[in-house]
Amino acid sequence: MSVDTMSSDGLRDVMVDELIADHEAKGLAMRPEVEAALRAVPRELYTPGVPVAEAYRSDTAVITKKRGDETVSSVSAPWLIAEMLGQAADALDGGLPGRHVLEIGSGGYNASLLRELVGPSGSVMTVDIDPEVTERAVACLAAAGYGDVTVVCADAEQPIDPGRRFDLIIVTAGAWDIPPAWITQLVEGGVLVVPLRTFGMTRSWALRRNGDRLVSQSQRLCGFVAMQGAGTHEMRYVDVAEGVHLRLDEGQQVNPESVRGLLSQPRVQAWAGVDLPPRTVLADLDLWLAARLADEVDQLVVLSAQQEAVDAGVVAPGWRFGTPAALHDGTFVYRSALCWIADMFDLGACAHGSNAVAAAGQMVAHMRAWVEAGEPSPRLHVLPAGTPDGDLPAGTVLDKRHSRLVLTFTSA
């Protein structure tokens, strides 16, 4: 039977089978209750007007609202939803049954999955700042039989239902900071799952509350539409060549003409001299590089590029959608594409400018250090703004408006 003639139930089962295989390829295991929820909820009812086969593509988000060219609301890709739900269940001792959950960023589909997971003794509230989104969520939830999910239209930067506490807060919009309301609305030991930007790179962090601070339990590579309302923080993009951009998210000041001039200079390539298997988590390496370079360079940025620019050899980034890069002492350096030999690969760096050899060598030295340390994963600590330096854990500090973030690393 072809996809075009398959029933929605059949498509849903195919989607979940693909998600399980995707988990296994990443070294993860899908929790049975998450699998059951994904097989139970009719995703097509949350994507009206979209072909059913498209609604059940496991790797694709369905855009539900745009403002000009900007996507402001979507039904997230199933692979990402499944991973975040797994993060939440793993971080909560005893899982999700009976829990009280607040979802920030509403489309309806994720809220219905959560409703399945918390069971009859739990509850789900979903909030969005956009009344069109919440009205649509109410209609879709009712059509799918989840009318007992509470839908609220509000800016979640401020407390929702003040005085109420939740076991889990799960955010389905890209955040730059963590407002105090998200911490105070959690019970002690409660969990916040949030796509948070650190050094311009987004990860879904599962963070457990411990008093006035949060400590991460897991993180996953992800991407989301940006937070709206009081929590908005604009990501700036600077074009430095045809199809090549720098992402600036922490107040960096970059002269695009200067970078354009550096890219016109000869490229120096350096290699770390390591042999790594395909399952190596390079997203962890990228945060390691950001943490190590943050105090060593003038400007830490993220390089992104169109495929045409990569094919033309203008740049050769490790990942064209976002690779750590740095500007320092008249030189531009970034993590380069991998060098594959059979089924293993080496890590490298490309540099342009007056100190290109030293800059590329410094970056690959940090790569070797990550491998020698056991390819450690990042751990994130979130503390209130104003916390004295002496009360911070040892690590790389990134100050936001509401909080002080500290990145540390632990061996796998």
Rounded Cα distance between 375 and 378, Å, is: 10
- Token pair belonging to 6: 């398959």
Produce one character per residue of 288-312: b if its CB has 16 or more CB atoms within 10 Å, e if not. bbbbbbbeebebbbbbbbeeebbee
Amino acid identity at 51: P
Helix (H, G, I), strand (E, B) or coil at 73: strand
342: region left, alpha or beta (phi > 0 left; psi from -120 to 50 alpha): left
- Token pair belonging to 397: 């500090």
- Token pair belonging to 34: 């998450």
Active site residue 258: no
Helix (H, G, I), strand (E, B) or coil at 238: strand
Query: 108: closest CA among 131, 139, 82?
Result: 139
Rounded Cα distance between 133 and 113, Å, is: 18
Helix (H, G, I), strand (E, B) or coil at 365: helix
Rounded Cα distance between 292 and 284, Å, is: 12
Q: Which of 58, 73, 74, 76 is catalytic?
A: 76
Question: For residues 337 and 313, is the Cβ–Cβ distance under 8 A?
Answer: no
Rounded Cα distance between 358 and 392, Å, is: 32
Rounded Cα distance between 120 and 140, Å, is: 20
Catalytic residues: 76
